[in-house]
Amino acid sequence: MRIAVASDDGVSIAEHFGRCAGFIIYEYENDDIKEIENRPNTREHHHEQHDCANHENSHGATNHSHESFLAALGDCQIVICRGMGRRAINDLQAKGINPAIIAADITAREAVELLAAGKLGFSDQSSCCSH
């Protein structure tokens, strides 16, 4: 199984899936976890002036696409982050990629290890601003 973790620094888990610097990709097979690569986030829909109070309106006014995320994560089964909007959740799930939104302040590696052990507490509900 391939697991992607949204990250800004290659170690910690990013606060917001869509605005992260990139994705750490792990391979989990036969109780073995390997970090296999880092993929950049091209952020094709990134809003330079992100205002959480007006975020819902900015999404309505623009028809941004999540295609760059979907293409980058197409071979992954799960993506871990600390925040994600409803549209991103829906788009990922439509492609068979399960979002795992966590509250814990742990490293990407720790999250993957907990997921592999069945001990990672997560949600698939939006947890970002007014998404």
Q: What is the DSSP string of 77-96?
A: SEEEES---HHHHHHHHHTT
Please report whether residue 120 resides in a domain.
no
Does this model's pTM top 0.75? My answer is: yes
| Residue 1 is assigned to a structural domain of this protein | yes
Higher pLDDT, 48 or 102: 102
Q: Classify residue 82: in a domain, yes or no.
A: yes
Q: What is the pLDDT of residue 56?
A: 42
pLDDT in tens, 85-128: 999 999 999 999 999 999 999 999 999 999 999 999 998 886 55
Tell me which of 16 and 114 has the higher pLDDT. Answer: 114
- 3-class SS at 10? coil
Query: How big is the CA angle at 90 (ends 87 and 91), to the nearest 5 degrees?
Result: 85
> What is the pLDDT at residue 95?
94
Domain of 9, CATH number, reads 3.30.420.130
Asked whether residue 105 is domain-assigned, the answer is no
Q: Judge whether 119 lies within some domain.
A: no
Instruction: Report if residue 69 sits inside a domain.
Output: yes
Domain limits at 33? Answer: 1-41+65-99
What per-residue confidence (pLDDT) applies to 71? 87
pLDDT, one tens digit per residue, over 64-79 is: 567 878 888 999 999 9
Q: Does some domain include residue 33?
A: yes
In a domain, 108, yes or no: no
Domains identified in the chain, total number:
1
